[in-house]
Amino acid sequence: MTDGAAQQVLRLGRHSFAPARRLVMGIVNRTPDSFYDRGATWDEDAAMARVHAVVAEGADILDIGGVAAAPGAPVEVAEEIRRTVPFVAAVRAAYPDLVISVDTWRHEVGREACLAGADLLNDTWGGQDRQLPAVAAEFGAGLICAHAGDQPPRTRPFRVAYDDVMADVLDRTLDQAARATAAGVDPARILIDAAHDFGKNTWQSLEVTRRLGEMVATGWPVLVSLSNKDFIGETLDAPPERRLTGTLATTAICAWLGARVFRVHQVRETRDVLAMVSAIQGEQPPARTVRGLA
């Protein structure tokens, strides 16, 4: 792990997580047009079945999203609320202790989600709505501060350039974290995210991966959302359904460099990768050891 500010306990919902604890955030999309699952959890019964599955596979956090990141038909605030908020309430009723995150950049959605039981607001589009931190503060919720450059929500990057992409990531995410703290969000509930693919081309996403230790060195807990992303697909020339190997390789590197939360589609496989990294780093023992001992 890169030298820098000491990592602190992360507090999400009712839970406190020590710095060595690596957390898996399972994705549940309440959209008909997700790039990866193509609407597989658009139906509420299918979405709840997905919740049960990822919890059984070891997800520490559930991230519920109601608007696909890619360009598409407009989704108004009321529709995003309809897609997500009743589902948040249903998940909270089924799993009283589970950490529930909602992927939204809109303060109106964040407020209704927190009223329904959400613990964490995942601001994937990097502070577009300046009122969102105040909502997190009001409800004692956590906030994920992500980097999207100058890219507006639901657009694709076009000829984006940075003098130093990691410097821009740090400037923007640290500014968001400072504004969140000033708004009253508990610093122990704030995470930062380089937001691979968002406002970045493949070269830039690879670079922020390689330099992730610079984010870790700030002391803020780092979340990575790598799962089946386009930068992996372009690197390997692979469609979304063949990006798992690249995702897991990138996950291992980010874990080694100090990332603490991993937003994923494949929970079980990610848990195995994180267990291996933790064991190699000496942070947790193997599940069983008999070889050469008897």
Q: Which domain, by its residues, includes 160? A: 10-280
Cα separation, 68 vs 245, in Å, equals 23
Question: Phi-psi category of 13—alpha, beta or left, where left has phi over 0 and alpha has psi -120 to 50?
Answer: left
Contact 248, 270 (CB under 8 A): yes
Does a structural domain hold residue 1? no
3-state secondary structure of 254: helix
Is 1 a residue whose pLDDT tops 60?
no
Q: What is the pLDDT of residue 255?
A: 98
3-state secondary structure of 267: helix
Give 25's strand partners: 61, 263
Does a structural domain hold residue 292? no
Q: What is the pLDDT of residue 3?
A: 60
Which two structure tokens, joined as six digits, stand for 93? 């009723």
Q: Residue 40 class from Cβ within 10 Å (0-12 exposed, 13-18 middle, 19+ buried)?
A: middle
Does a structural domain hold residue 3? no
pLDDT digits (tens, 9 = 90+) for 210-267: 999 999 999 999 999 999 999 999 999 999 999 999 999 999 999 999 999 999 999 9
Give 272's strand partners: none
Mean pLDDT of the chain: 96
Q: Which of 30, 172, 189, 263 is catalytic?
A: 263
Q: What is the pLDDT of residue 294?
A: 78
Q: What is the pLDDT of residue 33?
A: 82
pLDDT digits (tens, 9 = 90+) for 157-209: 999 999 999 999 999 999 999 999 999 999 999 999 999 999 999 999 999 99
Task: State percent of the chain over pLDDT 70.
Answer: 99
Contact 128, 153 (CB under 8 A): yes
Whole-model pTM: value is: 0.96
pLDDT digits (tens, 9 = 90+) for 3-43: 689 999 999 999 999 999 999 999 999 999 877 777 889 99
CATH of residue 265's domain is: 3.20.20.20
Does a structural domain hold residue 64? yes
> What distance lies between CA 266 and its chain's CA centroid?
13
Contact 262, 224 (CB under 8 A): yes
- Mark whether 229 is an active-site residue: yes
3-state secondary structure of 79: helix
Does a structural domain hold residue 185? yes
Give the total number of structural domains in the chain.
1
pLDDT digits (tens, 9 = 90+) for 264-293: 999 999 999 999 999 999 999 999 999 999
Does a structural domain hold residue 105? yes
Q: What is the pLDDT of residue 92?
A: 98
Q: Residue 42 class from Cβ within 10 Å (0-12 exposed, 13-18 middle, 19+ buried)?
A: middle
Does a structural domain hold residue 75? yes
pLDDT digits (tens, 9 = 90+) for 111-146: 999 999 999 999 999 999 999 999 999 999 999 999
Cα separation, 63 vs 15, in Å, equals 16
Q: Which of 30, 92, 106, 229 is catalytic?
A: 229
Does a structural domain hold residue 154? yes
pLDDT band at 55 (very low <50, low <70, confident <90, very high): very high
